[in-house]
Amino acid sequence: MNSARNHPSLPRPIVGQMKLENSNRLWAEAKRLVPGATQSLMKRPEMFAPGSFPVFLTKGQGALVEDADGQQFIDFISGLGANMLGHNHPDVVEPIRRHLEEGVLHSLPTPVEVSSAQALVDMIPGAEMVRFFKTGADATSAAVRLARYITRKERIITVGYNGWHDHFMFDTPGVPAALAGLTTRMPLFTEPDEAALLTCIEQNAKQLALVLLSVPYNRVLSKEFMHKVRATCSAHEVLFVLDEVVTGFRLAPGGAQEFFDVRADFVCLSKSIAAGMPLSAIAGPERHLTRLNDLQVSTTFGGELLSLAVCESVLKGYRKSGYVEHIAKLGRQLRAGINAKAEQLGSPLRVLGYDAIPFFLFDKNPAEHAKKMQPFQAGMAQRGVLLRRDVNFICAAHTAEQIDYTIEMAGEVLRSLTPGSTASAA
């Protein structure tokens, strides 16, 4: 393994086997104290390479993170996509410092609620009003309630993961069975799924309040298809709502609406809206958003000062920087480089999807993919690169040197995993 890393943006070499003593100790304590041992299913060890992957991170700077055992890694998990600017960015840290002495949560509205809303209106196509929440699931759930109120219809179609609340996860334990009749979950993983979605909208239009669409990450949808969804919804008085919890500010400064040149009735935003601080929002035209006044949609922490101040700061930063072009260019570099290595070595691995959201795929069968991805994740972690099992994220702090290094390490790991090779992935 090439261990010569002299560039400051590259991680320190891991000498010998990865150290996991502190991570494993903390994990044992967490399992005793926290149901599920962490706050997100997507952060559990079984989502990566158990026993060969760090469990706890302690700090980060730019696109580098350090684990509980002092090892460094290039981070493509990026806070599950929230850390658009990387770790410890001045546009995040400085507003927190400036506003901290003013308080965190006041008893009445604060000026930053107005100024951050204006910053978001200035950024999102078609937005005239904004309502803030804390999590993506808050925003998408409010969108469902608002759409039902506007249309006076109850059924919904969801595409992709839209949050953990009952109307989205209707087929999981603890959710009343009656809710299953109100939600239809539709995939968009393949091209034939597109016609099926359009047909479903048409057939259920009389009872349908909205289509809540989060784009798939394994393939790039066409502008033509997105316009068909928009037109079909409009023709049948169904609201078309984009779940941009992940794609917002990542595909384009104005999100998927700008990227696809399509106009949703309103959009749901989180993650990059405050570059990792806990914040979400619904943004859209006044004729729809003002109807929230009639509903019981309220949250104590929606006006928390620090997250709103960071939101205003990072949105202004997004508007004046070329970050979208930067992350897209790096994503293309990563995809082309790893795919070339994989083809050369006869590996089935392919990097697919949107430039800034590279999707790693070994096999279309989920179980087979996981089986093949885990040793790849383990080998990459041993070489100082953290990858999710499928969807990964380029952030503004990633560098071309880090992408080159990741491609080089991917080639090493794939070579070690090639059938007939005697090399070890780790």
**For the segment 135-171, what is each residue's pLDDT rounded down to a tens digit?**
999 999 999 999 999 999 999 999 999 999 999 999 9
Per-residue pLDDT at 193: 98
> CA-to-CA distance for 73 and 222, rounded, in angstroms?
35
> CA-to-CA distance for 273 and 152, rounded, in angstroms?
30
The tokens for 226 are 């997105």
> CA-to-CA distance for 304 and 283, rounded, in angstroms?
18
Query: Beta strands 72-75 and 64-67: pairing type?
Result: antiparallel
- Given a cut of 60, whether residue 95 has pLDDT beyond it is yes
Flag the least confident range among 124-128, 129-133, 223-227, 320-324: 320-324
3-state secondary structure of 160: coil
Q: What is the DSSP string of 361-408?
A: ES-SSHHHHHHHHHHHHHHHHHTTEE--SSB----TT--HHHHHHHHH
The C-alpha angle 124, 205, 236, rounded to 5 degrees, equals 60
- Given a cut of 50, whether residue 423 has pLDDT beyond it is no
The tokens for 255 are 């999100």
Contact by Cβ (8 Å): 159, 184: no
> What radius of gyration do the chain's Cα atoms show?
22
Q: At 368, which amino acid appears?
A: E
Q: How is residue 11 annotated by DSSP?
A: P
Per-residue pLDDT at 8: 77
Q: How confident is the model at residue 256 (pLDDT cuts 50, 70, 90)?
A: very high
Q: What is the DSSP string of 131-155?
A: EEESSHHHHHHHHHHHHHHHHS--E
Per-chain mean pLDDT for the chain: 94
Q: What's the farthest any 2 CA atoms get from each other in the chain? A: 67
pLDDT in tens, 364-393: 999 999 999 999 999 999 999 999 999 999
Q: What are residue 61's DSSP bridge partners?
A: 64
> CA-to-CA distance for 408 and 399, rounded, in angstroms?
14
Contact by Cβ (8 Å): 134, 299: yes
- Given a cut of 90, whether residue 421 has pLDDT beyond it is no
pLDDT in tens, 106-116: 999 999 999 99
User: Which domains, from first to last, does the chain contain?
Assistant: 1-75+324-351+382-419 (3.90.1150.10), 92-320 (3.40.640.10)
Q: Which residues contact 214 (CB under 8 A, 6 or more apart)?
A: 159, 160, 161, 162, 242, 243, 244, 245, 246, 247
Q: How confident is the model at residue 6 (pLDDT cuts 50, 70, 90)?
A: low
Q: How confident is the model at residue 418 (pLDDT cuts 50, 70, 90)?
A: confident
Q: At 351, which amino acid appears?
A: V
Question: pTM for the complete prediction?
Answer: 0.93
- Given a cut of 50, whether residue 4 has pLDDT beyond it is no
Contact by Cβ (8 Å): 274, 315: no
Per-residue pLDDT at 426: 46
Q: How is residue 156 annotated by DSSP?
A: E
> CA-to-CA distance for 108 and 131, rounded, in angstroms?
16
Per-residue pLDDT at 419: 74
> CA-to-CA distance for 385 and 11, rounded, in angstroms?
8
Q: How confident is the model at residue 2 (pLDDT cuts 50, 70, 90)?
A: very low
